[in-house]
């Protein structure tokens, strides 16, 4: 996605602002979790800014199964590139255009910044939270992302839109299922920093 979004709350280069003192953690309280879901070429490409570079029915079915009932954060161009309505899910669409309104009957909430999106998540704490593109949105939420659900394609593709690098020092592979030409892979953050940052972001936005 070309250009850049004005994302209040994000530090330089997508970094996280200083965290407030959250006090002692509640024993047994689940950590805040935000999952990025994407299909990624072998060279990190996820798109060309025009549309899907591939179409994998099994990947689309997995996306629907995993995200059903959840809250999906995405950019406007990603939302407008969808070929069908995301029924059974809440779509939070980040856009620079404050007058933008979606077409269709599904639950779609337009927001103009990261903190506004976080406020929507705070209101929906009982649902699972997802980030699903495009590249700029993944990077804006990367410091707060705690899990990854990726479809890793064996082939490389041409395109300007990329997924953030998955550094093995930061991410632990928890599951991998091989298919012909691609694999489903799940990752978790090694450190708790992203979860703490997400908790702080949600607390500030609530």
Range(s) of the domain holding residue 47: 30-205
Q: Is residue 145 part of a domain?
A: yes
51 domain-assigned: yes
Does residue 190 fall inside a structural domain?
yes
**Total domain count, the chain:** 1
Q: Which residues does 132 contact at the CB level (< 8 Å), separation at least 6?
A: 36, 37, 38, 63, 67, 72, 73, 74, 78
Return the pLDDT at 25: 36
Task: Examine residue 169 and state whether it is found in any structural domain, yes or no.
Answer: yes
pLDDT of residue 103: 76
Is 23 within a domain? no
What CA–CA distances, in Å, run from 86 to 4, 69, 201?
25, 10, 26
Structural domain includes residue 15: no
pLDDT score at 105: 65
Give the H or E element holding residue 114: helix 114-123
* CATH code assigned at 96: 3.40.430.10
Let me know if residue 20 belongs to a domain. no
State residue 17's pLDDT score: 42
24 lies in some domain = no
pLDDT at residue 1, as a whole number: 35
Give the residue ranges of the chain where pLDDT is below 70. Answer: 1-30, 84, 105
């Amino acid at each position: 996605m070309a250009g850049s979004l004005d994302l209040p709350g994000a530090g330089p280069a997508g970094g996280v602002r200083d965290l407030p003192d959250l006090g002692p953690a509640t024993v047994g309280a689940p950590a805040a979790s935000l999952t990025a879901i994407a299909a990624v070429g072998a060279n990190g490409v996820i798109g060309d800014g025009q549309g899907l570079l591939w179409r994998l029915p099994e990947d689309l079915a997995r996306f629907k199964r995993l995200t059903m009932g959840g809250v999906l954060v995405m950019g406007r161009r990603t939302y407008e590139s969808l070929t069908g309505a995301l029924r059974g899910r809440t779509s939070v669409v980040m856009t620079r255009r404050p007058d933008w309104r979606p077409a269709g009957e599904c639950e779609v909430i337009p927001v103009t910044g990261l903190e506004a999106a976080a406020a929507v998540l705070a209101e929906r704490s009982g649902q699972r939270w997802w980030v699903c593109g495009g590249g700029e949105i993944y990077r804006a939420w990367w410091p707060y992302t705690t899990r990854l659900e990726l479809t890793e394609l064996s082939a490389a593709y041409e395109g300007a839109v990329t997924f953030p690098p998955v550094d093995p020092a930061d991410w632990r592979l928890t599951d991998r299922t091989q298919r012909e030409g691609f694999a489903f892979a799940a990752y978790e953050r090694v450190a708790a920093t992203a979860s703490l940052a997400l908790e702080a972001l949600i607390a500030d936005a609530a």
